[in-house]
Chains A and B, each alone.
Chain A
Amino acid sequence: MLKIYASERPVTVVPWWILVTLSLALSGQVIYRALLGPTNRVEATALPVAPVADNLRLLTLGEPAVLSKLTMLWLQSFDNQPGISIPFDDLDYGRVIAWLASATALDPWAQYPLFVASHLYSRVNNLRKQRLMVDFIYQQFLQDPNKRWRWLAHAVVIAQHRLHDLPLATKLANSLRRQAAGGNVPHWAQQMEIGLMEEQSEYQSAAILIGGLLQNGQITDPHELHFLNLRLKELKNKLPAADLNSMGSSAR
């Protein structure tokens, strides 16, 4: 302890009424927070309109990447409200996309906005909203194809298996092949267009995509790995047994 005071006097010098008040106030605080605290009062609220990135940049105090991360955490709190839940389907996707775009503009190296766009927000049971997310991913990919190719690869899978829009999937895969020509883009990603011609289940496509990313050493974050493995498991559970058997035999 700091040597500011000579020593401390015993507790007995403290008047009794201070000890009583302290105990009462402490109990009162715990009771107040337990009964009326924010955990019980948090209510799902509508997502506000996103400011454009340039306006948001004013608040960054020269640290746009920090604000980008904070924006993503904040955005996360809107869809992570089970019990007081806003299901993804109830979110205004125009606004979600605007927030994601602002976060990406603040930190163009960030993968978080595109990750949530392709793996979380695209899982909504609403074709129009899925299409909006795919379009957002495509637009972001076009701005930096060599860094954002993996999200477009996932968008190809979404377009093929969830939107059942083969022309769109082909367009995206074609764009992936032609625009993402950097050395870090693996061969299998550039050849996704060919894979579209083959009859594959969503699980098979996702397994190829995730397996390819893992083999390539592109995914290193343990949380992301865990998340993707859970996602694969989910897809596998949805797959009919016959398809699994055929996959097993084709693997052999």
Chain B
Amino acid sequence: MRAGCHSLMQSSIQQVQTLALSTLYEAYSGKMIVAVVGVLGVGFTLALFLGDVAITETAQMQQALLAGFLRMSLVFVLVVFVVNGCVREIQDRSILLTLSLPVSRTTVFFGKFCAYTLVALIIVIFACIELSIFAPLAHIIPWGVTLWLESTLVIAFGLVCAFSLGQVPLAITTVVGFYLLSRSMSAVLLIAHHPIIHSDSVGQSVLVYLADAVALMLPALDQFARAELILYGAGPEFHLSSLLLQGAIYALLLVSIALFDLYRKNF
């Protein structure tokens, strides 16, 4: 019985590996590498340009803007890659071929998810290498770890949207909206809770409750991969364990939603 379970587990892992390899091959053969190299090149040029024009705090200017640029651009490249890859498989029906194999839908999902998170890890490592030209490595590591966590959440949400919406523009718009809202939710809450003109109107109260409810459902992405980490290092207010916990909880939530949706789909 025990040996049966063990061999089943091993065969599932092998299936995940095979599916992940095919997704990695897709990343390699597609234009993703070009996009990533382009982003890194533009980032590097931008940092050099800023180093030329800044009259003070040159290094900080380069670090902050390069970190901000890489964070936004690489997450966007990943979103496009994930959504485009999945939707294409659904639209050209090649996913039917995969599903006709003796593999569970969970295995199919994890094959893709693992491959994309691995791609994200490679991209983040390249971003960190580029940043290390301008900033100390000790500052870059916590930034890189949290950027990878953030990318993982965005990938999971991208998979949810790709499978449930089935259209590239709609899915990308939704993921970008989710990402931007998650990053700016703290500011939204602050403004909602403390308006300059206080009013007892029902509308304002409802808006505050709505903002609170939305915040509960979103990951605290504003705490991830902040440029302050690169500029000043991980201070006492930075708790990597808390962010790892948030990343794990939210990744689990998104993976469950994606699997729930995937199992119900009739392709």
Interface residues of A (CB under 8 A from B): 2, 4-11, 13-15, 18-19, 21-22, 24-26, 28-30, 32-34, 36-39, 42-43, 73-74, 76-77, 80-82, 120, 223, 226-227, 230
A29 touches B267 (CB 8 A): no
CB proximity of B182 to chain A, nearest CB, Å? 10
Given A38-B223, A39-B215, A76-B196, CB of A13 within 8 Å of CB of B167? no
**Chain B positions 174-201 with a Cβ under 8 Å from a chain A Cβ:** 185-187, 189-191, 193-197, 199
Interface pair B263/A38, CB less than 8 Å apart: no
Interface residues in B, total, Cβ within 8 A:
46
- Please tell me if the beta carbons of A80 and B196 are within 8 angstroms of each other in the complex: yes
Q: Is the CB of B216 within 8 A of A30?
A: yes
A18 with B166: CB separation less than 8 A:
no
Apart from A13-B263, A29-B253, A42-B189, what 18 extra A-B contacts exist at CB < 8 Å?
Answer: A2-B170, A5-B265, A5-B266, A6-B267, A9-B266, A15-B106, A18-B260, A22-B260, A26-B253, A29-B249, A33-B218, A36-B242, A37-B220, A73-B191, A74-B187, A77-B187, A120-B196, A227-B197
Q: Which of A5, A19, A24, A81 has the most CB of B within 10 A?
A: A5
Other-chain residue from A7, A34, A77 in contact with B266 (beta carbon distance below 8 A): A7
Do residues B257 and A22 form an inter-chain contact, with CB atoms below 8 A? yes
In the complex, are the beta carbons of B194 and A42 less than 8 A apart? no
Chain A residues touching B, majority SS = helix
- Scan residues 63-85 of chain B and give those whose CB is less than 8 A from a CB of chain A: none
User: Which residues of chain A are within 8 angstroms of B240 by Cβ–Cβ distance?
Assistant: none
Residues of B within 8 Å of A227, CB to CB, are: 196-197
- B195-238 contacts to A (CB < 8 Å): 195-197, 199, 212, 215-220, 222-223, 237
Q: Which residue of A lies closest to B68 (CB)?
A: A59
Query: Are the CB atoms of B197 and A37 closer together than 8 Å?
Result: no
Q: How far is the CA of A225 from the CA of B260 in the complex (A)?
A: 51
| Given known contacts A33-B220, A38-B223, A230-B197, A21 and B165 CB-to-CB distance under 8 angstroms | no
Instruction: Give Cα A82–Cα B195 distance, bound, in whole angstroms.
Output: 10
Q: Is B250 an interface residue (CB 8 A)?
A: yes
Most A-side CB within 10 Å, residue of B165, B187, B190, B266: B190
B245 within 8 Å of A by Cβ? Answer: yes
The reply to whether the CB of B37 lies closer than 8 angstroms to some CB of chain A is no
Q: What is the CB-to-nearest-CB distance from B264 to chain A, in angstroms, rounded to a whole number?
A: 5
Q: Which of B106, B185, B194, B257 contacts A81 (CB 8 A)?
A: B194
Interface membership of B17, Cβ < 8 A = no
Q: In the assembled complex, which residues on chain A have CB atoms less than 8 Å from the CB atom of B91?
A: 4
In the docked arrangement, what's the CA distance between A16 and B101, Å? 22
A to B CB contacts below 8 Å, 13 in the list: A4-B166, A6-B266, A18-B256, A22-B253, A25-B249, A28-B249, A29-B217, A33-B217, A39-B215, A42-B186, A42-B190, A77-B191, A80-B196
Residues from chain B with Cβ under 8 Å of A2 in the complex: 165-167, 170
Contact check, B216 vs A9: say whether CB atoms are below 8 A apart: no
For the complex, what is the distance from the CA of A42 to the CA of B223, rounded to whole Å? 11
Q: Roughly how many angstroms separate A76 CA and B267 CA in the complex, as a whole number? A: 50
Question: Is there an interface contact between A14 and B249, defined as CB atoms closer than 8 Å?
Answer: no
The answer to whether A21 and B256 touch (CB under 8 A), given A33-B215, A80-B194, A227-B196, is yes
Give min CB distance, B198 to chain A, whole Å.
9
Report the separation of the CA atoms of residues A19 and B255 in the bound assembly, to the nearest whole angstrom.
11
B141 at the interface (CB under 8 A from A): no
- Residues from chain A with a CB closer than 8 A to the CB of B167 are 2, 4
